[in-house]
Structure 1
Amino acid sequence: MTLLSIAGVSRNFGDVQALADVTLDIRQGEFFALLGPSGCGKTTLLRILAGFEFPDRGAVRLDGADLLAQAAHRRPVNLMFQSYALFPHMTVAKNVAYGLERERLPRAEIKTRVSEVLETVGLTALAGRRPAQLSGGQQQRVALARAIVKRPRLLLLDEPLSALDKKVRAEMQLELKRLQHEVGITFVVVTHDQEEAMSLADRIAVMDSGRVEQVDAPVALYERPRTRFVADFIGANNLFPGTVTGGGFEVPGLGPLPCKTDLPNGTAVLAVRPERIRLGDPGRGAADGTVADVSFYGGISHIAVDVAGHDRKVLVATQGPARITPGAQVGLTWNPDDAVLVPA
């Protein structure tokens, strides 16, 4: 069931077009991610949902009601800031209770709800501490508890894990996913971190230059990108520009490359993931090359191959330490089903 409907939303700042006819439907109970590089418009869209910006055109409806007609403080929407914005002079419990106190709820209800949410995020034992006495991950949990204690229909998260180190970030990704399922609130997260979006979200909207390039589940985005931008932005990829003809897909300098030609004749780009490419003897694959570099990443090796006629190194990923050295002559091959053609 659709909870949030965004239809034809556009926003300009002078000559800069921040959003261009953005249309999205976000489902009830979904963990949804807005993913893209800096300046793609994702934060502007988040601010429109929160009530801090207004679109030049378009409509936003929450449960069928016009969200844009409601003042920011009246919307059943809460925003968790990137900086957490905790009150340093208040305890954890007081920080979490602050929004409920502003609503003048009965003290007994405030105490019960704060106690419940602190138990949910695992901070009951730290209720009397102040933010300076907490780790980054614990502060993030306090900010999340303060956001969900008001029981919003929609929770917006702006780069929620960017201030954490890599190990804590990985732990909090699992924690956020667990909490979202437990509390049943629809989460919309803004991030430029592909790994964060792929690990957290049920669906992802990839944005570029104010436009939505593709909306899909993480696996579909990775395996079947529909535009060149998505193919290049989501994970590592090998891109081969060429032309679809009646006889297949031709790449200048390389000749025909194996793929399913499911696009009409004309220019296109072939995308092949590094883990889908196999190394073999020269003369027996789609292309031949020379190993330029081998890097080991603890379980996976990345092999960069120079291919004559191609201006970028071809990246190959293999499990475990690579049994090959720079300077080796190799052939590259892949299954046609593992290569994806996208419009140029």
Structure 2
Amino acid sequence: MLKIDGVTRRFGEVTALDGVSLEIGQGEFFALLGPSGCGKTTLLRIIAGFETPDSGTVTLDGEDLLGKQPNRRPISLMFQSYALFPHMTVAKNIAYGLEREKLSRQEIKQRVGEVLETVGLTAHAGRKPQHLSGGQRQRVALARSIVKRPRLLLLDEPLSALDKKVRADMQLELKRLQNEVGITFVVVTHDQEEAMSLADRIAVFDHGVVRQVDEPVTLYERPHTRFVADFVGANNLFEGALAAEDTLATEDFGALRGRPLRALRTGSKALLGVRPERVRLGAAAATGGGLKGSVLDVSFYGGISHISVSVPGRLKPVLVAVQGASEVKPGAEVTLDWRTDDAVIIPVDQ
């Protein structure tokens, strides 16, 4: 439905977007993920009409978007701050855009009532924003965005102002709402967990370039580059060179097992990435291969324990995640190992 082709945007000597191309389907929940300053918000502003690219095209259902004024685009943008009118009630906030379009009172009343029911705020229609919780204000902003029935809804860091518990609840609410109304959602976020839980597909941005576009599980389990492997979730990365089909040769740790993501030439530089939950923790007395180290710290996160292990020759500790409360204590000598299929060998970024 939305096609972005070769979009570049520069601000002086800074290139915010460098030839970005993406295709987003009808009814898809799509996330633009990356650290601050990577270009994701600039792209959102170009789609909305608040920025003009230096080159490239943006089309919606085959029609050029760049030639249309922002208010003429079938797009709604939900701001990070929600931008609600404090002197208006919830119902008036939601109805404002429809009144500007000069719709009939009857249609405005009907559409506002429908969307209030959708977001579960019918009982709060007469309240003003200052009398609502953060989660409720976010629902009002969402309701105001979808009541105009846009083809595309853009969300700029929509959950960043909420505390962790409310944010988790609203992630479920956003997904439910998107499924119910059938509008294409494009969300900008720097929060990997938020993107993974919400999106059907994710585009990972780095310095104005899209490094990978994939479904959340594929992105997590098969990162294409060092940046994606390191940015999306926790990962233990080891540098070396491909020694054989399933082996990375390293100077400090010997041969490490993993599966290459694509065909690599023997001897070419590569990285091995193994996720914390894939690392097996054993007693130091255990026989066999694997890395040896000592436990630095054990943190319990209610259902999962994170264990940091210092391995000689490695600057960063190896992170291990185990279910439940771990019995291992700081200072314990342990071994670390993993199955070949549980680690990936990634080409070094060119």
Does the Cα contact within 8 Å between 1:252 and 1:309 map onto a contact in 2? no
Does the Cα contact within 8 Å between 1:80 and 1:155 map onto a contact in 2? yes
Does the Cα contact within 8 Å between 1:222 and 1:231 map onto a contact in 2? yes
2:290 is aligned with 1:292: no
* Residues in 2 aligned to 1:149 and 1:269: alpha-carbon distance in whole angstroms: 48
2:252 is aligned with 1:253: yes
SS at 2:172 equivalent: helix
Question: 1:22-57 deviations in whole A, cap 9, x for unaligned?
Answer: 010000000000000000000000000000001101
Aligned partner of 1:166 among 157, 164, 167: 164
- Structure 1: which 5+ residue stretches go unaligned? none
Partner in structure 2 of residue 340 of structure 1: 344
Give the deviation of 1:198 after TM superposition. Answer: 0.7
Aligned partner of 1:83 among 77, 81, 84: 81
Does the Cα contact within 8 Å between 1:263 and 1:341 map onto a contact in 2? no
SS at 1:298 equivalent: coil
* Residues in 1 aligned to 2:228 and 2:259: alpha-carbon distance in whole angstroms: 19
Partner in structure 1 of residue 282 of structure 2: 280
Aligned partner of 2:273 among 268, 271, 274: 271
Does the Cα contact within 8 Å between 1:36 and 1:208 map onto a contact in 2? yes
Partner in structure 1 of residue 187 of structure 2: 189
* Residues in 2 aligned to 1:246 and 1:216: alpha-carbon distance in whole angstroms: 28
Partner in structure 2 of residue 227 of structure 1: 225
Quick check: 300-309 or 4-13, which moved more? 300-309
Amino acid at match of 2:192: Q
Question: 1:268-305 deviations in whole A, cap 9, x for unaligned?
Answer: 11000011010124452321111121111111111111
Does the Cα contact within 8 Å between 1:204 and 1:218 map onto a contact in 2? yes
Deviating beyond 4 angstroms after TM superposition, the runs of 4 or more aligned structure 1 residues are none
Does the Cα contact within 8 Å between 2:248 and 2:345 map onto a contact in 1? no
* Residues in 1 aligned to 2:258 and 2:195: alpha-carbon distance in whole angstroms: 29
* Residues in 2 aligned to 1:243 and 1:286: alpha-carbon distance in whole angstroms: 18
Amino acid at match of 1:307: V
Question: 1:176-219 deviations in whole A, cap 9, x for unaligned?
Answer: 10000000000000000111111111111010100101111111
Percentage of matched positions with identical amino acids? 70
Give the deviation of 1:308 after TM superposition. Answer: 1.2
SS at 1:257 equivalent: strand
Matches within 5 A, 1:125-204: 125-204=123-202
Does the Cα contact within 8 Å between 2:8 and 2:18 map onto a contact in 1? yes
Amino acid at match of 2:255: P
Does the Cα contact within 8 Å between 1:77 and 1:152 map onto a contact in 2? yes
Does the Cα contact within 8 Å between 2:235 and 2:275 map onto a contact in 1? yes
TM-score, with normalisation over the residues of structure 1? 0.97
Partner in structure 2 of residue 114 of structure 1: 112
Amino acid at match of 1:211: V
- Tell me the matched-pair count: 342
Amino acid at match of 2:292: D
Amino acid at match of 1:319: Q
Give the deviation of 1:245 after TM superposition. Answer: 2.5
Partner in structure 2 of residue 39 of structure 1: 37
2:312 is aligned with 1:314: no
Instruction: Let me know the Cα RMSD of the aligned residues.
Output: 1.1
Does the Cα contact within 8 Å between 1:242 and 1:252 map onto a contact in 2? yes
* Residues in 2 aligned to 1:267 and 1:164: alpha-carbon distance in whole angstroms: 43
Aligned partner of 1:304 among 296, 304, 308: 308
Does the Cα contact within 8 Å between 1:158 and 1:191 map onto a contact in 2? yes
Does the Cα contact within 8 Å between 1:258 and 1:286 map onto a contact in 2? no
* Residues in 1 aligned to 2:255 and 2:317: alpha-carbon distance in whole angstroms: 18
Amino acid at match of 1:298: G
Partner in structure 1 of residue 241 of structure 2: 243
Give the deviation of 1:76 after TM superposition. Answer: 0.3
